[in-house]
Amino acid sequence: MSFADRLAFVRERVVAACARAGRDPATVTIVAVSKTQPIDAVTEAVAAGVDAIGENRVQEAAAKRPLVGGATPWHLIGPLQRNKAKTALDLFDLIETVDRPELADRLEALLGGSDRVLPVFLEVNIGGEAQKSGLNREASPALVERLLKRCPHLCLRGLMTVPPYDPDPQRSRPHFEALRRLARELETRFALSPLQLSMGMTEDFEVAVEEGATEVRLGRVLFGERRPGP
């Protein structure tokens, strides 16, 4: 099956999930997560018209993006260290993993003086798992406030989460629901326009769409299994 065939199949599944939830499928974007996949696979994804490319490591994106070309936006979906922030700004159109004030401040400082405004998502550790990246739900209002007050070069577009791993997608549902509720709370509290929700991966994207995902991040269902590392 070609990438385009797989993408068409995924889109059908998104449309069906939207129908079950009474949603408009045009409100769901598909990010093709190309980590470990070779350049030609990423090029094929871009040619097939996927909405965005997602990579979780800055170094890997640095090796790939210049060779892929095209106008498709790239999203950073993995943890970002402060010392890689500058490189990340050169490679990504959107950063989904802002999860602490130091990182927001670093990005703001790097962008200060330019007229670029970077769209960002806050990554929320919605299951409250120890040793997982993302900020705790309770800490999110303070970070939103900081972005709004002190980071004019960052534009808060949405929330992102990776729920606790569970082979049964139905068990991810309460976490997706919790992220949606958090978004609505933040919108009300800070008078924001609707936040996007980046949630759902290969195993659970249909449940995520039923619960309001506006962006699903899909790796294996689009590219096949991940390639072994070098």
Tell me how far apart the alpha carbons of residues 160 and 227 are, in angstroms, rounded to a whole number: 25
Give the β-pairing of 154-160 and 215-218: unpaired
Residue span 34-53 as binding mask against ligand PLP, x where in contact by CB under 6 A, dash where not:
-x------------------
Which 6-25 residues touch ligand PLP, going by CB under 6 A?
A: none
Determine if 33 is a binding residue for ligand PLP (CB under 6 A): yes
Q: How far are the Cα atoms of 6, 84, 110, 202 from residue 217, in angstroms, in the given order?
A: 14, 22, 27, 8
Q: How far are the Cα atoms of 75, 94, 159, 178 from residue 56, in angstroms, in the given order?
A: 8, 12, 16, 24
Which 76-95 residues touch ligand PLP, going by CB under 6 A?
A: 77-78
The region that residue 28 occupies, defined by phi over 0 for left and psi between -120 and 50 for alpha, beta otherwise, is: beta
b/e code 112-125 from CB counts within 10 Å (16+ = b)? eeeeeebbbbbbbb
What is the total count of residues that contact ligand PLP (CB under 6 A)? 13
To the nearest whole angstrom, how small is the minimum distance from the Cβ of residue 219 to ligand PLP?
3
Determine if 227 is a binding residue for ligand PLP (CB under 6 A): no
Tell me how far apart the alpha carbons of residues 52 and 106 are, in angstroms, rounded to a whole number: 25
Determine if 58 is a binding residue for ligand PLP (CB under 6 A): no
Identify which range of 19-27, 44-52, 65-73, 213-221 contacts ligand PLP by CB under 6 A: 213-221
Q: How far apart are the first and last CA of the chain?
A: 26
Residue span 144-183 as binding mask against ligand PLP, x where in contact by CB under 6 A, dash where not:
------------------x---------------------
Nearest CB to ligand PLP, comparing residues 20 and 226: 226
Binding site for ligand PLP (CB under 6 A): 33, 35, 56, 77-78, 162, 201-202, 217-221
